């Protein structure tokens, strides 16, 4: 990043920093990311995961893409619909999900293991029936796989669209790495390559549908107000940037029109253009802190391993 860019972008980067830290305050997890020195956590600095998850615009847009995909699975949706306070505190739910992903990616190993154990305990208490009487459990291995694949897909595609080019071999390494979190949570038959993810999505199609609950949850998502200036505009840009990552089959199921998809592409271009500002605004995030814990400069994350 050139000195001239830093100087010219400083006011915009400072504003973005205030927005991000207002929406996702630091320090609330209680996790110590700086110690113990030399602890690589679940992945370590040689991983693709550390690099993909360091791209904030891609992670936020990718997470929103994953939420849209998850509304298509009736049993996964029912667990959220029946047992989550997303209607009253969607931002809080997004923060908790963000904290889990950040912790399992960058925290020391003991902290990551605690996060996984905590989520497993929560899942073990959640169960019920869908609107049409099909039983579900949050710790169902198949549902855990669905949630994981949608998130991994969203994060990877978000990195590609709004961060940097991801070669196919690197993409396969990413899927192979991140499945260890899904498996630790209890998921089974987790895809470990791009081809495996494509095959998985094709296989699960018969279980997916769009119904009234899908539209209700998407409606809540579409009305969410982030605690930042110009909340409606910020939300719409990120939501549309997330929708731009959806696979074609998901766009078709959700009935996204040609006009909507054109607006998604426009938001994607805006998000791509803003990515350098996000990097300038957040030089002290969890990825750099984890690098320093390992005695490495954060710049190592700028190149693929």
**8 A C-beta contact, residue 224 and residue 235:** yes
Cis-peptide, bond into residue 36, ω within 30° of zero: yes
pLDDT above 90 (res 61):
yes
Per-domain residue ranges for the chain? 43-288
CA dihedral 178→181→183→186, nearest 10 degrees, is: -150
pLDDT digits (tens, 9 = 90+) for 214-253: 999 999 888 876 655 555 557 788 899 999 999 999 999 9
Greater confidence (230 vs 257) lies with 257
Greater confidence (65 vs 11) lies with 65
Q: What is the pTM of this model?
A: 0.93
Rounded to 5°, angle at Cα 242 from 237 and 244? 95
pLDDT of residue 223: 82
> How long a stretch of residues is the chain?
305
Spell out the SS3 assignment of 187-206.
CCCCCCCHHHHHHHHHHHHH
pLDDT digits (tens, 9 = 90+) for 71-101: 999 999 999 888 877 777 677 778 888 899 9
**8 A C-beta contact, residue 163 and residue 58:** yes
Average pLDDT over residues 127-138: 93
Place 6 in a pLDDT band, splitting at 50, 70 and 90. low
Alpha-carbon gap, residue 37 to 242, rounded angstroms = 36
């Amino acid at each position: 990043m050139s000195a001239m860019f830093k100087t010219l972008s400083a006011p915009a980067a400072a504003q973005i920093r205030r927005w991000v830290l207002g929406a996702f305050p630091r320090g609330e997890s209680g996790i110590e990311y700086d110690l113990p020195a030399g602890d690589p956590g679940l992945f370590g600095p040689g991983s693709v995961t550390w690099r993909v998850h360091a791209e904030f615009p891609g992670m936020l847009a990718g997470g929103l893409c994953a939420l849209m995909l998850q509304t298509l699975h009736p049993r996964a949706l029912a667990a959220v619909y029946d047992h989550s306070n997303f209607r009253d505190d969607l931002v809080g739910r997004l923060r908790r999900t963000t904290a889990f992903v950040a912790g399992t990616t960058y925290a020391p190993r003991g902290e990551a293991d605690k996060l996984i154990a905590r989520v497993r305990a929560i899942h073990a208490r959640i169960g019920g029936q869908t609107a049409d009487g099909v039983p579900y459990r949050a710790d169902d291995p198949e549902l855990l796989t669905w949630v994981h694949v949608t998130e991994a897909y969203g994060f990877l595609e978000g990195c590609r669209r709004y961060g940097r080019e991801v070669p196919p071999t690197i993409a396969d390494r990413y899927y192979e790495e991140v499945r260890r979190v899904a498996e630790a949570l209890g998921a089974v038959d987790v895809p470990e390559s791009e081809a495996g993810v494509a095959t998985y999505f094709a296989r699960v199609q018969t279980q997916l549908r769009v119904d009234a609950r899908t539209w209700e949850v998407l409606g809540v998502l579409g009305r969410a107000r982030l605690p930042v200036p110009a909340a409606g505009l910020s939300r719409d840009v990120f939501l549309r940037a997330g929708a731009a990552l959806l696979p074609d089959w998901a766009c078709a199921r959700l009935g996204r029109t040609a006009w909507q998809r054109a607006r998604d592409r426009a938001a994607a271009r805006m998000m791509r253009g803003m990515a350098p500002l996000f990097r300038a605004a957040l030089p002290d995030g969890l990825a750099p802190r984890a690098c320093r814990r390992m005695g490495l400069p954060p710049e190592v994350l700028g190149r693929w391993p």
